[in-house]
Amino acid sequence: MTTRRGRQSGQALIEYAFLFIMVATITIAVLALAGNQVQATVNKVQTCILHVGDYQAQVDNQCSQ
C-alpha cells in the first residue's frame, strides 16, 4: 500500500523530469534553427579575441560593434 506522500513525491519527480525534457528539446530546436548564426557570431568573437591588437582585423572592420 503506497502512501499519499510517496505518490506525491513520485509525481513531482516525473513532473521535473518532464520539464527538463521539454527545456532540453526546446534548446536543441533553437540551436538547430539558429545554429549557423550562432556559429558565425562565435567565430567572429573568437577572431576578434585572437587578433585583439592586429591592425589588419581593425582595417577589415571584422571587430567593430
Residue 27 and residue 11 in contact, taking contact as beta carbons nearer than 8 Å? no
pLDDT at 14: 92
**Residues 20, 60: Cα–Cα separation, whole Å:** 43
Q: Over the stretch 1-60, which tens digit does the pLDDT of each residue have?
A: 456 666 677 888 999 999 999 999 999 999 888 888 888 888 888 888 887 776 665 556
* Whole-Å CA distances, 62 to 11, 37, 39, 42, 52: 52, 16, 15, 13, 11
Residue 64 corresponds to which amino acid? S
